Copies of this chain bind each other. A is one copy, B any other.
């Protein structure tokens, strides 16, 4: 029995790849898979969570008296692992953009990036503490800060986002995006790593939340499931191609609350202390301390 014609399928797949590579002008000198690895980044993120919250997210058999031993050892190991991923990201960028930097230049840059990131960790912990408190105080169902830290998808998402954003600002968008998608897949919350989010941020339930790349979010903002902070429309250049990297998402000022399903589009400003009702659709700025609510017109009884 001959079964399937493997050789034939392999050849046709090769031809399909060749067509693609010709079209995409894939660089010939990419020997191996020179891209950051999702699995590696997933492990690094787990370890970083343990480093930030050792007694809650660290290893199960950890004791408080050896927190520092655990952190020191894990940190050293994790920064080395991170260094590898940063180098892969930088090398990939370098080849894509044909900058032809030397291996040493890339190593130096990677070293600096990881060093800067490591020094930001204590600050990140403090900001995340403010997020935990915001969640505890903002949800009537929350019974303890530990429950929040262990169970709330919103806390998971903002932890990953704050780390991803560090790499976004260090010009490592691929690494940042991979981290963001790990959280998106697990929580259904899609925060672009470019979004700037101040302290005390809380997303409740979270599934379906989308926060765009150029969003700016102030202190103590609270958001519910299925909220979109998106772009209104995409600008195109003269050739009809999408323009990238311009401010196209909302600014949300301090103490704003946005209820479930609200859609806020474009570079508009939701003023300090405003309350946005559920399911509303907003494409223009909203003044401070105002409330935008769902009109009653959306239902009719039969």
Residues of A within 8 A of B (CB): 2-7, 9-10, 12-17, 19-20, 24, 30-33, 35, 37-39, 51-52, 54-56, 58-77, 79-81, 92, 96, 111, 114-115, 118-119, 121-122, 125-126, 129, 137-147, 150-153, 173-174, 177-178, 180-181, 184-188, 190, 192, 194, 205-208, 210, 212-213, 225-226, 228, 230-231, 234, 241-245, 248, 260-261, 263, 265, 277-282, 286, 290-295, 297-302
Contact = CB atoms under 8 A, between A and B. Distances in A.
B10 A75 contact: yes
Contact of A213 (B37, B72, B141, B261): B141
A299 B278 contact: no
5 contacts: A2-B65, A32-B63, A33-B61, A292-B299, A297-B297
Given A35-B146, A62-B77, A293-B299, 6 more contacts: A33-B61, A72-B73, A73-B74, A190-B206, A205-B210, A297-B297
A186 B105 CA distance: 38
A66 B71 contact: no
Number of copies: 6
Contact of A4 (B79, B141, B142, B241): B79
Nearest to A248: B140
A278 B290 CA distance: 23
Contacts of A208: 188, 207-208, 225-226
A228 B230 contact: no
B129 A16 contact: yes
A260 to B, nearest CB: 5
Contacts of A146: 35, 92, 174
A181 B299 contact: no
A81 B61 contact: yes
A129 B21 CA distance: 10
A30 B295 CA distance: 51
Nearest to A302: B291
Residue of A151, A277, A299 with most partner-chain B CB within 10 A: A299
Nearest to A145: B24
A37 B14 contact: no
Given A122-B12, A174-B146, A76 B72 contact: no
Given A13-B125, A65-B76, A73-B72, A207 B190 contact: yes
